[in-house]
Amino acid sequence: MPQSRNLFITKRSLIRNVVAWALGSKVASSRRRMQEAGGGGGGSGCMTGNPIDDCWRCAGTDWRQDRQRLADCGIGFGRNALGGKGGPLYVVTDSSDRDPVNPAPGTLRHAAIQEGPLWIVFAADMTIRLSQELLVNSYKTIDGRGARVHIGAGGACITLQYVSNVIIHNVHVHDCVPAGDANVRSSPTHYGWRTRSDGDGISLFGARDVWVDHCALWRCADGLVDAIMGSTAITVSNSYFAHHDEVMLLGASDAYLPDSAMQVTIAFNRFGPGLVQRMPRCRRGYFHIVNNDYTSWEMYAIGGSASPTINSQGNRYIAPTDPNAKEVRQLSCRAVPCVCDLDLLLAALATVAALGFAPALGFAPALLPLFVDWRAEHAFFWLSLGLPAPACVLLVFVCVLRLAFEPQKIRF
């Protein structure tokens, strides 16, 4: 059993890094095509260098007639979210939400609870002030392109509870308040009593394969985007966050072990003015935070606990003037003798290899890129700290000794 588990953990680590590498490859390819086409915001070129937008806007078709192409443009861990792909178009014509148990046809709630794939669009600009949480069923796309759609505005907002394959695109979610202590319909055949909600903008509870893209979120009672209770396979991209305290919570408790499998991509977002903390706040899982723009914060930008893996790449940080909010606190590379795990061993080997000590350890040169690629975020982090080569070699032997004599200390 321990051997099988170790192989599973190794495979999962490899998949996580392949997903991160694939995202970087898409960005590089999109930027290259932008340069070749003369795009980049000037001239007549369509290409922008953003792989998501280039995918659905520059496909040679009118996106208004080919809306569902968006489902093929996902990146990161939420890339497999199908949304309502393959289903019919549902046009929301009524912004009201008078009865959460028996929603009227033409309302967003009536569309969101249906069974089967559904691609939901809006007939015109509208503000939807929900009387209760909007319980979105599986295989739905909420597509606000072509209209200016506001959800919340002093009412309840969006909940994804034990559902999968949901895409939320181009809507404004703001000023969300707690709701509940009422019956709410979640499908055509079921409604039930809802206790008091937290007032999140978008709440994921045991949800998977979810993609939030090109949304604007601000000023909600609790989090703007919270993912808890085993939610995974999530991407939040191209979105704007502002004027809020606790922005994004990924994992609600250090003690909840299933969140160790959580995998989230946070890419191409702008964290704007008036934000305080949790951009995001990570627990246990694996979080790829890439190419985001952080323009000031009051407490901290990215935080974590319970041994999350945070792979931060290409982000821009404009720190606040407060020196207490600039400081990097509790930074560690897990390179300590009291902790040894498979990642640490691989990272140590990769670092040694990168420093040119591979021949001494008997590694074939052809294998070196695999090791360096596989645990690059650890290896390059160590190098950036200026860890001397003898210390890297020592780490290898410390790990080997612990693997041999203290297996109970191994951590995965």
Tokens of 169: 């695109």
Whether the CB-CB separation of 216 and 173 falls below 8 Å is answered with yes
Query: Which band of pLDDT confidence, cut at 50, 70 and 90, is reported for residue 343?
Result: very low
Identify the weakest region by mean pLDDT among 22-36, 59-73, 105-119, 215-229. 22-36
* Spatial separation of the C-alpha atoms in residues 111 and 284, rounded to whole Å: 35
Query: Which band of pLDDT confidence, cut at 50, 70 and 90, is reported for residue 341?
Result: very low
Can you give the pLDDT at residue 329?
Answer: 57
pLDDT for residue 135 is more than 70 = yes
Can you give the pLDDT at residue 22?
Answer: 84
pLDDT for residue 368 is more than 60 = no
Beta strands in 22-139 (DSSP E): 89-92, 118-122, 126-128, 134-135
Can you give the pLDDT at residue 360?
Answer: 46
- Most confident stretch, 14-18, 325-329, 370-374: 14-18
pLDDT for residue 131 is more than 70 = yes
Query: Which band of pLDDT confidence, cut at 50, 70 and 90, is reported for residue 394?
Result: low
**Per-residue model confidence as pLDDT tens digits over 158-189:** 999 999 999 999 999 999 999 999 999 999 99
Other residues' Cβ atoms within 10 Å of the Cβ of residue 58 = 18
Query: Which band of pLDDT confidence, cut at 50, 70 and 90, is reported for residue 15?
Result: confident
* Spatial separation of the C-alpha atoms in residues 296 and 21, rounded to whole Å: 28
Tokens of 178: 């707690």
Tell me which H or E stretch contains 11.
helix 2-37
Identify the weakest region by mean pLDDT among 98-112, 262-276, 337-351, 373-387. 373-387
Can you give the pLDDT at residue 34?
Answer: 87
pLDDT for residue 64 is more than 80 = yes
Cite the active site residues.
Answer: 278
Can you give the pLDDT at residue 258?
Answer: 94
Query: Which band of pLDDT confidence, cut at 50, 70 and 90, is reported for residue 312?
Result: very high
User: In which residue are the tokens 């794939």 written?
Assistant: 117
Residue 327 or 192, more confident: 192
Query: Which band of pLDDT confidence, cut at 50, 70 and 90, is reported for residue 351?
Result: low
What is the arithmetic mean of pLDDT over 271-289?
96
Can you give the pLDDT at residue 67?
Answer: 97
Q: Which residue pairs, CB below 8 angstroms and at least 24 apart, start in 289-293?
A: 289/313, 289/315, 290/20, 290/23, 290/24, 290/265, 290/266, 290/314, 290/315, 291/27, 291/267, 291/315, 292/266, 292/267, 292/268, 292/316, 293/269
* Spatial separation of the C-alpha atoms in residues 277 and 362, rounded to whole Å: 46
pLDDT for residue 353 is more than 90 = no
Which residues touch 361 (CB under 8 Å, ≥6 apart)? 349, 352, 353, 396
* Spatial separation of the C-alpha atoms in residues 77 and 157, rounded to whole Å: 24
Task: Give percent of the chain above pLDDT 70.
Answer: 74
Task: Give percent of the chain above pLDDT 90.
Answer: 64
pLDDT for residue 19 is more than 90 = no
Which residues touch 263 (CB under 8 Å, ≥6 apart)? 16, 19, 77, 232, 233, 234, 285, 286, 287
Identify the weakest region by mean pLDDT among 4-18, 81-95, 257-271, 359-373. 359-373
What is the arithmetic mean of pLDDT over 398-404?
55
Can you give the pLDDT at residue 374?
Answer: 33
* Spatial separation of the C-alpha atoms in residues 345 and 395, rounded to whole Å: 8
Can you give the pLDDT at residue 404?
Answer: 54
Can you give the pLDDT at residue 6?
Answer: 45
Query: Which band of pLDDT confidence, cut at 50, 70 and 90, is reported for residue 387?
Result: very low
Tell me if the bond preceding 188 is cis, omega within 30° of 0.
no
Can you give the pLDDT at residue 189?
Answer: 97
Query: Which band of pLDDT confidence, cut at 50, 70 and 90, is reported for residue 356?
Result: low
- Of 309, 304, 312, nearest to 286 (Cα)? 309
